[in-house]
Amino acid sequence: MLNNAFRRGWLVCVVLGAALATGACGVRPTTAAIGEPVILAAPVPPSTTTPAAAPAPPLTPVPKVDESGGATGASINPDALVAAAQKAEPNTTLGAVVFDRTLNTELVAVDADRQFSSASLVKLMIAIDVLDQGADGDDRRALARMLSVSDDTIASTYWVKGGRDDIITRVVPLIGLQGTEPPSNPGKWGEVQLTAHDVLRVYQYVMAMPAADNTLIVDALAQAPQYAADDWDQWFGIPDGLDLQWAIKQGWGNNSRTMVLHSTGLVGANWRYVVVLLTEHPLGSGWRTSEDAATAAAHALTGLLPGA
């Protein structure tokens, strides 16, 4: 279960030269007021003597997800997920998808085309873009750390190096995303707008990547430690709610209006399921209860996933 009784989060801005660079997944809790920016120094990309790897070969686009809300094969009552989340935190807005990769079937969808602020989920897109552009050994090690411990500083470096919004402009057609947009302020990567269906498409794309790239990303997500680089307990949602094998990418943070807590990942033997749980809460909602909402939605899936 979650260990921290009180959480605060805010957008992180990174200064590279004189330019603001990013928005955050979430930072180490302090007594500062919610919404106060924390300024970090963006590192210079690491030097390397390893020759750059050749760009990854073109990949087959991910099949588009059924947009009917799972009506062609849903076997899980979406109301159960919503009720569970709102019992933990009454002001929760939930966006969710559960997809069975074995049956190629969407089992449930809840507001799956509603946009949410990405927080650190955008790190999956950053990693895909870096690998698609051609990543050397240092890049690959940095990406693994960025994903497993949700390292904001590494994400900020690649966000700037990759042209900020240009990353989103590249990955949208590459993956076939339909509801993802760059942030209104290109300096805040945590404000990329995305949907539960698009997060599903990201995971589908990852599972179709060349073996070395797929292994890098999935292993990093499967080895996510309990505490992230900023000391945030990231084992809410899927890890706490489902007693199944997982490989997760989580997100947490807030802006001047709302808070978001996201739990997403691959679940079950052979990564049979993709589970995407996006939650949004009014600013000032409790971090603990908001995390509990994501965990409760995950727990509501217990016993409902065929073969799990």
Alpha carbon of 245 to those of 43, 228, 265, 293: distances in Å?
A: 34, 19, 10, 21
For the segment 31-48, what is each residue's pLDDT rounded down to a tens digit? 222 222 222 222 323 333
Question: What pLDDT score was predicted for residue 73?
Answer: 42
The yes-or-no verdict on residue 111 having pLDDT over 90 is: yes
The yes-or-no verdict on residue 15 having pLDDT over 70 is: no
Q: Which residues contact 107 (CB under 8 A, 6 or more apart)?
A: 70, 73, 74, 75, 76, 98, 99, 100, 304, 305
Cα–Cα distance between 104 and 184 in angstroms, integer?
A: 35
Domains of the chain: 12-43+65-299 (3.40.710.10)
* pLDDT band, very low/low/confident/very high, at 307 (cuts 50, 70, 90): confident
Alpha carbon of 7 to those of 31, 137, 148, 217, 230: distances in Å?
A: 10, 36, 21, 28, 12
Strands 12-16 and 38-41: parallel
The whole-chain average pLDDT of the chain stands at 82
Cα–Cα distance between 244 and 266 in angstroms, integer?
A: 10
Cα–Cα distance between 129 and 126 in angstroms, integer?
A: 5
The yes-or-no verdict on residue 278 having pLDDT over 50 is: yes
The yes-or-no verdict on residue 19 having pLDDT over 80 is: no
Which residue from 126, 131, 115 is spatially nearest to 153, judged by alpha carbons? 126
In the 8-state DSSP scheme, what is residue 45? P
Residue at 235: amino acid letter: W
Question: What pLDDT score was predicted for residue 43?
Answer: 30
E strand spans, the chain: 12-16, 19-20, 38-41, 93-100, 105-110, 116-117, 193-194, 246-254, 258-267, 273-282
Share of the chain above pLDDT 70, in %: 76
Which residue from 198, 62, 63 is spatially nearest to 118, judged by alpha carbons? 198
Question: What pLDDT score was predicted for residue 308?
Answer: 78
| β partners of residue 254 | 259
Share of the chain above pLDDT 90, in %: 74
The yes-or-no verdict on residue 64 having pLDDT over 60 is: no
Q: Is the separation of the CB atoms in 263 and 233 below 8 Å?
A: no
The reported pTM is 0.80
For the segment 149-206, what is each residue's pLDDT rounded down to a tens digit? 999 999 999 999 999 999 999 999 999 999 999 999 999 999 999 999 999 999 999 9
Question: What pLDDT score was predicted for residue 1?
Answer: 35
Cα–Cα distance between 280 and 139 in angstroms, integer?
A: 32
* pLDDT band, very low/low/confident/very high, at 226 (cuts 50, 70, 90): very high
Q: Among 11-25, 139-153, 204-218, where is mean pLDDT lowest? A: 11-25
**Is 266 in a helix, a strand, or coil?**
strand
